Homo-oligomer: A and B are copies of this chain.
Amino acid sequence: MLTFIGLGLFDEYDISLKGLEAVREADLVYAEFYTSCLMGTNPEKMEKLYGKKVHLLSREDVEQQPDWLDKAKDKNVAFLTGGDTMVSTTHVDLRLRAEKLGIETHLIHGASIASAVSGLTGLQNYRFGKSASIPYPYESRRGAIIISETPYDTIKQNSELGLHTMIFLDIDKDKGYMTANHALELLLEVEKRRGEGIMERAVAVGIARAGSEKPVVKADYAESLKDFDFGNPLHILVVPGKLHFLEAEALVKLAAGPGKIMEETE
C-alpha cells in the first residue's frame, strides 16, 4: 500500500491528525521536497514528531528509478510532500506506476497554497483563471538570456476575462527559491518588451510564508511592489483582475494596498 500524504504549508504541525496517524503506522516513510517544501521545519524535526525515519528522495529517485516503490507491494509505505498531495504531475505519474504494479494507493490531503492564497488575500477563489508559473531565465545556446513570456500571456488572457492570476514561482536546486520581487522584475521586463500595458498599470499581491504564524501579504502597483521586502521564502504572487468591492477592501485593509483600487471596483 502506498499512501500519499500532503504535509500542508509551513511546518511539521501542518499535517492533519489523519496524516500523522498514517505516518506513524507506516512501515517505511519517504518524502520529496523538490517540487515544494516546508520552510518552517526540517527532516530532523519531522522525524522527532513522527517517531520514524524519513527517507528523502531526489528528483531522480522519484521520476527515474523508483526502486523504493517496489517495497509498497508488500509493505505499508507513506510518501510525503509539501502542500496538498498529488498536485504535481510527477505524483500523478508515480501513482499510475504504483497502480500498474498492483499497489493500492490512498491520498491524505493537506492544506494547499492554491486555496490559502484566497484566504490570505481575500480574493475569491471562483474569480481566478488559469494559473501561471514563472521559471528562472535561462541562457540560450547563442548566449542570449531567455525570459519566458508565457506568464505574461496568461495574465493578459485572464485580465481580459476580468479574472485573477495566481503565479507559482520557480524552485531551483541551484538558484534557490524565486522571490516575488524577482518575479515582478521579470514580468515588468516582458512588459517593456511587449508594451501591451498589462503589468504597467497592474496591482499585484505578494504573499510570503503562507501558513506561518506571521505571513506577509502586501498589495501594491507592480512597479512599487517589486521593491518591497517580503523576507524569507516561500513567496507567491497574484495579479488580480477586476476586483469586487469586498476584494478591494480586503486588499486595502488586510494587505496594505493602495486606497485608489477601491475606486475601480465592479
Contacts and interface: CB of A to CB of B under 8 A. Distances in A.
Contact of A126 (B9, B119, B127, B132): B132
A249 B96 CA distance: 8
Contacts of A20: 17
Contact of A87 (B99, B118, B131): B118
Interface string A88-130: 0101110110010000001101111011101110101111111
A139 to B, nearest CB: 25
A106 to B, nearest CB: 8
Nearest to A105: B254
Interface stretch (A58-66, A78-86, A190-198, A223-231): A78-86
A129 B129 contact: yes
A152 interface: no
A84 B96 CA distance: 28
A157 interface: yes
A86 B14 contact: no
B129 A115 contact: no
Contacts of A163: 129-130
A128 B154 CA distance: 12
Contact of A14 (B14, B17, B85, B215): B17
Query: Which of the listed residues A21, A115, A122, A254 has the most CB atoms from chain B within 10 Å of its own CB?
Result: A115
Nearest to A133: B126
Nearest to A126: B131
A109 B4 contact: no
A246 B89 CA distance: 8
A20 B17 CA distance: 9
Q: A-B pairs with the 7 shortest C-beta distances? A: A86-B119, A112-B115, A109-B111, A84-B115, A13-B18, A13-B17, A92-B122
5 contacts: A8-B111, A87-B115, A107-B119, A109-B210, A110-B111
Interface of A: 4, 6, 8-9, 11-18, 20-21, 83-87, 89, 91-93, 95-96, 99, 106-107, 109-112, 114-116, 118-120, 122, 124-133, 157, 161, 163, 168, 210-211, 213, 215, 246-247, 249-250, 253-254
